[in-house]
């Protein structure tokens, strides 16, 4: 069985990545339908029963920064073991709303946890495992802030300052610069139709 592929969507809150995820799934399913494979859609934190419980805690409860990072990686280990790794072994494709880049961006860039601690956790939990492709939806901080303001009641991350999101965005961009072969950066200020044109090109190359 040929291994499946793992694709992640990333971006700061308000970048609009979730808006495009279902459309991307439908287009990807159409592309691989003849192969008999499936597309598994999941998210982080979450993706498993334990992960969803941890998600509720992480998004809403105050806690020490290191506790927050440890819980993110604990949820990720369960996610890998129960969902991602089995799906890829079956030959299915996995599409995830966030993965470890988000932890480096939010807990590292945004909150300031030293990168070496996150890298140690990443090696422990993931080994050398990384997505085959990461689509990063990039948007100016002010635009993202306006979009968040028009959305539902914010969780503790969505309630953070513009300075926090500037640091988070910068870390995302640093990660993308560090691994250009893995990242595709999408200008999320463009129209939905224009973004879907870009994503269509992405699908044709994976």
Give the residue among 167, 45, 51 at the shortest CA–CA distance from 99. Answer: 45
16 is in an annotated binding site: yes
92 is in an annotated binding site: no
13 is in an annotated binding site: yes
- Residues composing the chain: 206
Distance CA 7, CA 25 (A): 10
Structure tokens at 196: 């879907």
Cα–Cα–Cα angle for 149, 112, 51, rounded to 5 degrees: 70
15 is in an annotated binding site: yes
17 is in an annotated binding site: yes
14 is in an annotated binding site: yes
- For 39-177, where are the E strands, in sequence order? 39-43, 93-97, 133-138
Helix axes 162-178, 141-149, angle to 10 degrees: 120
Residue 162 has a CB neighbour count (10 Å cut-off) of: 11
Binding-site residue set: 11-18
Binding-site residue set for ATP: 11-18
């Amino acid at each position: 069985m040929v291994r499946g592929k793992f694709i992640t969507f990333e971006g700061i809150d308000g970048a609009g990545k979730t808006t495009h995820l279902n459309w991307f799934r439908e287009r990807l399913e159409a592309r691989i339908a003849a192969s008999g494979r499936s597309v598994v859609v999941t998210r982080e934190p979450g993706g498993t029963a334990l992960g969803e419980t941890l998600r509720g805690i992480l998004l809403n409860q105050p806690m020490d920064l290191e506790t927050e990072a440890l819980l993110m990686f604990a949820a990720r280990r369960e996610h890998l073991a129960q969902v991602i790794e089995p799906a890829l072994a079956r030959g299915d494709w996995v599409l995830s709303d966030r993965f470890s880049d988000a932890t480096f961006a939010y807990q590292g860039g945004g909150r300031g946890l030293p990168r070496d601690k996150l890298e140690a956790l990443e090696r422990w939990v993931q080994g050398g495992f990384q997505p085959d492709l990461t689509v990063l939806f990039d948007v100016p901080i002010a635009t993202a802030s306006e979009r968040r303001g028009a959305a539902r009641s914010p969780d503790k991350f969505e309630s953070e300052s513009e300075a926090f999101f500037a640091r988070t965005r910068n870390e995302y961009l640093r990660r993308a610069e560090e691994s250009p072969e893995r990242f595709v950066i999408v200008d999320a200020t463009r129209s939905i139709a224009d973004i879907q044109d870009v994503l269509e090109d992405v699908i044709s190359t994976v």
